[in-house]
Amino acid sequence: MKKLRRKVYMTAGYNTISLGTGRREFNPKKPRPGIEHYIREAGQGVLKQIGGATNVDESVIGNFMAGRFNKQGHIDGFVPMIDKGLSMKPAVRVEGACASGGLSLITGINHILAETSDVVLSLGVEVQNTVKAIYGADILAMAGWFQKRKTGHAYFFPGQFSDRAGAYYEKYGYNRSRKGMARWYANAIENARLDPTAQENHNTNPDPYGTALKMQPNGRAFVDNLTVLDCSKVSDGASGIAICSEEGLKRSGVDKKDAVEVIGFGHAVRDITNDPTDLTELETIKYSAHHALENAGITIDQVGTIETHDCFSIAGILAVEALGLATKGKGADFVAHGKTNRNSEIPFNTTGGLIGWGHPTGATGVHQGVTIWQQLTGRAGNAQIKISDNRPYGLTINMGGDDVTVTSIVFKRGE
């Protein structure tokens, strides 16, 4: 265990609505809020809880592809728009594909550890419903290596994870795998219904498990081994949270019990130009998450809730295996038997994850941190789970690309 040189806390989390198909107010033919709206709302939502912008030393904003989705670069320049009190203070934009939000958190943590700041405003944002789905898939494909994208599926990342699902079916059985993937989808919908900001909050399907199990992959219509229900959403949204030292909490008027402490983290990157060593293993998630747990000095059986990057249902199942909760090939059974649902010993993605809550790519890692903060401090509303004294920790796993960039963070309630 490598002890952090300074205590680091997170508090004052805020999520905008994850807007897109599934929300009743979403209409692709009508004008919708732009990226400025989401940055401002999330930022102001955090500032109101920490005594205002005067308490912030610097800001970090995660964003993947505003340059293509919104024809806008220089995203850090929007931070002072949130509040004039942020004007002339340092701000930086970070990017690591779908792990951009996680990098926003990691960067803020490192600023606190480096003692350059006592309060960092961490944000993540993406507005993606600006183009048709096929064009959006091409933009998101920029998270993959260009030389491979040239010969990849038109829906590039669904194609990549379809290949992973196909390899899993071949090794471990199609029917077993599909039962696990259907249960993962059902859990996502059931959890999202409990969070009013979730994209699938309005989903009224009385049997999401049966629907997912009945729907079969069709390569002629989409990709060979996944259905649309196996996929995360095209989403517009932002999330924010304050990252603080002990002095920063005091300055902001926040009690430690209203914060979560970061006790370990991992950040790993694999070579984007190489194919995965094994399509049925998420090796970077495995490395990053285990490093975070080792850094925190705990084991996976002490973790009470996990927010993992389920861009596709197969990614959720492979993450279960990467964490060592199930042996290789048994992750689908673990999920199918209800061991990741909200009433289990180790609930996953309690507000719906990427499939249920939504996936505004640059915001996802921050949203995960907000969810863990809500759960560990009792602020999750109808989505609240019981945190056992025997399993008091939370874990986030945010992945960019096909298991290329991964951030993992271990939290406990402040004390």
**Euclidean distance between CA atoms 322 and 325, whole angstroms:** 8
Contact 124, 366 (CB under 8 A): yes
pLDDT one-digit tens code per residue, 283-317: 999 999 999 999 999 999 999 999 999 999 999 99
Over residues 355-376, mean pLDDT: 98
- Give domain status of residue 303, yes or no: yes
pTM (2 d.p.): 0.98
Residues 184 and 311 in one domain: yes
Residues near 18 by Cβ (< 8 Å), separated by ≥ 6? 197, 198, 199, 233, 235, 236, 237, 357, 358, 359, 360, 367
Tell me: do 271 and 355 sit in the same domain. Answer: yes
**Angle in degrees, 0-180, between the axes of helices 283-296 and 313-322, rounded to the nearest 10:** 50
Closest by CA to 114, choosing from 202, 12, 248, 245, is 245
The four Cα atoms 67, 71, 75, 78 give a dihedral, to 10 degrees, of: -170
Distance CA 99, CA 263 (A): 20
Cβ-count burial of 403 within 10 angstroms (0-12 exposed, 13-18 middle, 19+ buried)? Answer: buried
Neighbours of 261 (CB within 10 A): 18
Q: What is the pLDDT of residues 193-211, one digit of tens each?
A: 999 999 999 999 999 999 9
The pLDDT score that the predictor gives to residue 2 is 67
The answer on 214 and 100 residing in a single domain is no
Q: For residue range 211-228, list pLDDT tens digits in order.
A: 999 999 999 999 999 999
Mean pLDDT, the chain, rounded, equals 97
The CATH number of residue 377's host domain is 3.40.47.10
Residues 170 and 319 in one domain: yes
Q: Do residue 67 and residue 201 come from a single domain?
A: no
- Looking at the domain assignment, is residue 141 inside a domain? no
List pLDDT tens digits, range 48-67: 999 999 999 999 999 999 99
Judge whether 207 lies within some domain.
yes
Q: Are 195 and 246 contained in the same domain?
A: no
Question: Do 95 and 81 share a structural domain?
Answer: yes
> Taking a C-beta distance cutoff of 8 angstroms, is the pair 223, 158 a contact?
yes
Asked if residue 289 is part of any domain, the answer here is yes
In a domain, 309, yes or no: yes
Residues 145-195 pLDDT 10s: 998 888 889 899 999 999 999 999 999 999 999 999 999 999 999 999 999
143 domain-assigned:
no
Q: Both 91 and 161 in a single domain? A: no
Span 15-60, pLDDT tens digits: 999 999 999 999 999 999 999 999 999 999 999 999 999 999 999 9
Residues 40 and 184 in one domain: no
Quick one: 241 and 287 in the same domain?
Answer: no
What pLDDT score was predicted for residue 152?
Answer: 87
Looking at the structure, tell me whether residues 99 and 172 fall in a common domain: no
Q: Which domain holds residue 244?
A: 8-132+234-258
Indicate if the pLDDT at residue 1 is higher than 60: no
Number of structural domains, the chain? 2
Digit-coded pLDDT (tens) for 257-278:
999 999 999 999 999 999 999 9
Per-residue pLDDT of 384-414, as tens digits, reads: 999 999 999 999 999 999 999 999 999 999 9
Q: Is 165 found in the same domain as 224?
A: yes
Q: Is the pLDDT of residue 352 over 60?
A: yes
Q: Residue 217 phi/psi, 5° resolution?
A: -60, 145
Q: Is 138 domain-assigned?
A: no
176 within domain boundaries: yes
| Closest listed residue to residue 302, CA positions, set 311, 289, 293, 310 | 293
